[in-house]
Chains A and B, each alone.
Chain A
Amino acid sequence: MDLFEHQGKEFFARYGMPVSPGDVAFSVEEAVAAAERIGTPVMVKAQVHAGGRGKAGGVKFAPDLDAVREHAGNILGLDIKGHIVKRLWIEKASDIAEEYYASFTLDRSAKKHLGMLSKEGGIEIETVAVENPDAIAKIWVDPVDGLSEEVCREWVAAAGLPDAAVEGAVDILLKLYTAYVDGDADMVEINPLILTEQGNVHVLDAKVTLDGNSEFRHPEYAQYDSTQVRDEREAAAHAHGLQYVGLDGTVGVIANGAGLAMSTVDVVSQAGGAAANFLDIGGGANADVMSAALEVINNDPAVKSIFINVFGGITRGDMVAEGIIEAMRRVDIHSPIVIRLDGTNAVEGREILAPRVGDDLMMEDTMLSAARRAVELAK
C-alpha cells in the first residue's frame, strides 16, 4: 500500500519525527486558504504515487499567495509519469542548508533489514548508487536485535554527515526504524532529509509503502485503502476481492493461483498475442468467484477473447465447470471463452462443459493450444 507524501508525514509524525506543518488541498481555492493558514512562504507539492515530481514541475516554491494560486493551478491536473495530480500538499517552506537521504527496506537476499544513508540526498538514490556507490552507507539490521543507538551512531559516522547534523540524524533514524518495524512498512524513505540553516535536522519528504498483510493489527490502515490509485478495472476487481492487474492486451485471462496466472499471461504472449490482465481467482473457483471474474473481464472494452486456465489441485474441475456455466447464465459475456481444465476431476468438468461448447465456449487440452486459440480469436 503506497502512501502519499502527506500521509507518510503524518505516519512519521506519529513516531515523533519532525515534519513541517501543512495541509491537503484539492483545488486552487483550498490551496490558497491553506497557505493563508500556514503562512507564506510555502511549498506547493503534487501528491502522486510516483517519483521525479520535482523534475516534472510538480513541486514549486511560493513566496506569496499569488504564487500559490499560480502554482496550484498549474500543478493540479498535471500528468506525472501517468499519474494525474488531483491533490496538493501545501507546507511551510524550509531553509535548506544540506540534503541527505535515508531509508529502510527488507533485503530479501540477506533476509535482514537494510538501512541506507547518504549525504548526497535530494536526487534519486538509484543515480547515486550507480554514479557514486561509496556515497551510500549501508547497514544490515537483524530484526531480532533491532537498531541500537550505538550502531546507529556508527552508521551516521560512516555516512560522513557533518557534526552539526549528527545528533538530529541519529534521533530521526532511530525513530524511522521504529516506524518501519512497528508500522509494518515494506519501505520508508526520507529524500531529502535536510539540515536547515538554523541547524535542525528535518524530514522534508516521505515515501512510505505499508505491508497490506499486516492490516489486521493496524486498523488505521483502512484509511489508506481508499486513496490507492487503481484503474477502473482494478477497482472493480478489488471490490470483489480478486487479485487483478490491468495490462494492455486483448486476451482476458482468468487462472487459479498467482504463478499459473503469470504463466498464462506468458503463454498468451508466446502465442503471438497480449493479455489484457492478470487475474488470480485463487483456490475457491465457485460460481460467485467465477461470475465476478468474468464480469470484471467482460467490462474491459479491450478484451476480444477470454482464456480461462484452471489447474484443479484441491480445487475440483467439476466445481469450476459448474461455476463457469452458472457465471455465463448470470453475465452476458461479449467475448468467446477458451477453457483449459486439468487436474482433479478435470474429466467430470469437461463432461459438464461439453454440451455448452460452441462459438462462445471452447475447450482445449493444453495450456499452449488454449493460448493459441484465444489469441486467434482476439485477432
Chain B
Amino acid sequence: MSIFVDENTKVVYQGLTGSQGSYYGRLNAEYGTQVVAGTNPRKAGTEVNGVPIFASVGEAVEATGATASCIFIPAAGVRGAVMEAAEGGIELIVAITEGVPAHDEAWFYNKLKRDFPNVQLLGPNCPGIISPGKCNIGITAGHIAKPDGPVGIVSRSGTLTYQALYELQQKDIGVTTCVGIGGDPVPGTSFIDCLKAFEADPETKAVMMIGEIGGSAEEEAAEFIKDHMTKPVSSYIAGVTAPPGKKMGHAGAIVSGGKGTAAAKMEALADAGVKVGNNPTEAGELMAEIVAGL
C-alpha cells in the first residue's frame, strides 16, 4: 500500500505543453506513472509525447478518468489552475509551481476547504509525491527511491526530500510513499494530513519527517504525534543556525519574533517521542535503528 497515489492513479498535467511540463511529464511517464492527459485551451486535440491534450481539466477527466492533476503553470495562473482542477472533478492536485503569491494560496486553500472539502491539494512550491515503483508525480528523480516500504517520508523541502530518500536507499530501506508538502506559508497538505495517512496505511511501519524553520507546522505535528501516532517517527529540522529575520530561500523559512526556531521544533518533536537527528544523515541512521527494531 501507499498513500494518496499508487499504480492505478491517472494523472492529467496542467501545463504539459510547456517546457517544464513536457519534460517532467515525460520523466514521470517513463517511471511508470499513468500520464493520461494534458491541458491547454489553445492546443486541444494535439499530443505531447503521445499524451492527448484537452481544452480543460473537466474534459480531460471525462475522457480519461483522471483523478489526479499536476500543475506546471506559471505562478500567475496557479490560482485559476487549482480551481479548474477542483471544478473538473480532480481529487488530488499537485502544484509544483514556485513563487505563488501568499494571498492566492490563502484564498484557494480556504475556497477548497469550503466548496471542495474532498479535494487534496499538495503544494504549491513542492517537489511532488512518489510511491516508489508505482507512481511519481512531480520533479523527484525516481531512481533514488527504493520501493516497498516500510518507511513513509514527509518533507517541507525539495532537495532535503531527495536527501532523505537517498539516506534510506543507502541503507537499503524502502519507502511506501514520499510526500513533499512544499516550503510555502500556506501549504495545501500539512504534515498532519500525511502523518494521519501514514498511520492508517498498513504497509507503512515508520515515518521520517523533514521540517525547517518558520511557522509552527512542526510543533503542530509534534502534538499530533504525541496524541495519535502509534508508529515510530524520526526527524530532522533544517535551519538550526539560521539568523532571525532572514528568509532562507523558502517563503516560509524565516525565524520572526523569536518564533519558528529549529531548536523549539526539535524540542517539541523530542517531547513527542520522535527520534530527532542533527542532520539528514543522523535522521537516516535513527530511522535505520527504528527499522531494525521493527
Contact = CB atoms under 8 A, between A and B. Distances in A.
A342 B164 CA distance: 12
A278 B216 contact: no
A313 B102 contact: no
Interface in A262-292: 262-263, 265-270, 274-275, 278, 280, 283
Interface residues on B, range: 35 or more
B141 A344 contact: yes
A144 B75 contact: no
A106 B159 contact: no
Nearest to B243: A247
A245 B257 contact: no
A314 B159 CA distance: 10
Contact of A106 (B24, B158, B186, B278): B186
Contacts of B213: 262
Q: Kindly list the 7 A-B residue pairs having the minimum CB-CB distance in the complex, ordered from nearest.
A: A259-B157, A258-B249, A257-B159, A259-B160, A260-B159, A214-B101, A262-B238
Nearest to B139: A314
A257 B144 contact: no
Interface in A71-113: 106, 108-109, 111-113
A368 B282 CA distance: 10
A112 B243 contact: no
A103 B248 CA distance: 25
Nearest to A280: B249
Interface residues on A, range: 35 or more
Quick one: which of B27, B156, B210, B251 has the most chain A CB within 10 A?
B251
Contacts of A268: 241
18 contacts: A111-B186, A112-B106, A143-B106, A144-B114, A184-B102, A258-B212, A258-B248, A259-B158, A260-B159, A260-B160, A262-B157, A275-B241, A311-B162, A313-B141, A313-B162, A343-B166, A344-B144, A366-B281
B159 A211 contact: no
A213 B158 contact: no
Interface of A: 106, 108-109, 111-113, 126, 142-144, 181, 184, 186, 211, 213-214, 216-217, 243, 245, 247, 255-263, 265-270, 274-275, 278, 280, 283, 311-314, 342-344, 366-368
Contact of A342 (B143, B166, B278): B166
B279 A217 contact: no
Interface in B23-70: 24, 27
Contact of A262 (B140, B144, B248): B248
B107 A311 contact: no
A263 B144 CA distance: 19
Nearest to A263: B238
Contacts of B27: 314
Contact of A270 (B141, B163, B243, B278): B278
Contact of A213 (B139, B155, B251, B278): B251
A221 to B, nearest CB: 12
Interface string B150-178: 00000111111111001000000000000
Contacts of B157: 257-260, 262
Given A217-B101, A259-B161, 8 more contacts: A106-B102, A108-B215, A108-B217, A211-B101, A258-B159, A311-B166, A313-B141, A367-B280
B210 A259 contact: yes
A50 to B, nearest CB: 10
B253 interface: yes
Nearest to B160: A259
B183 interface: yes
Given A143-B106, A181-B103, A262-B242, A313 B279 contact: no
A106 B101 CA distance: 12
B240 A266 contact: yes
A30 B111 CA distance: 50
B103 A184 contact: yes
B82 to A, nearest CB: 13
